Amino acid sequence: MTTHLPVTPAWTCGGCGDDWPCQTRRRELGAEYDRAPVSLALYLAAQFVDATRDLAHVPAGHLHHRFLGWTR
């Protein structure tokens, strides 16, 4: 099990302290959802919605890139 889970309401990584999802968690999620990219996008979209409530001061475009922009 990963230690790179989000710590809310700051949305930092519990494993390394970077913004969540950190690079390590992105790699883990990519491997976990390797054959299910739509499921990954749905999971991250739900996290994005939760984060927008806590991080209302951060521009939505930045949060979108942070949570979803790295997926393809």
CA atoms within 13 A of residue 31's CA, in its CB half-sphere: 6
- The total number of structural domains in the chain stands at 1
Instruction: Read off the pLDDT band of 72 (50, 70, 90).
Output: confident
Question: Per the domain annotation, does 53 fall within a domain?
Answer: yes
Q: Could you tell me if 26 and 70 are in contact, meaning their C-beta atoms sit under 8 angstroms apart? A: yes
C-beta neighbour count of 67 within 10 angstroms: 24
Tens of pLDDT along 14-56? 999 999 999 999 999 999 999 999 999 999 999 999 999 999 9
Tens of pLDDT along 1-18? 789 999 999 999 999 999
Instruction: Read off the pLDDT band of 63 (50, 70, 90).
Output: very high
Question: Per the domain annotation, does 49 fall within a domain?
Answer: yes
pTM: 0.91
Question: Per the domain annotation, does 5 fall within a domain?
Answer: no
Residue numbers of the domain that contains 45: 27-72
Question: Per the domain annotation, does 15 fall within a domain?
Answer: no
Q: Could you tell me if 35 and 23 are in contact, meaning their C-beta atoms sit under 8 angstroms apart? A: no
CA atoms within 13 A of residue 4's CA, in its CB half-sphere: 13
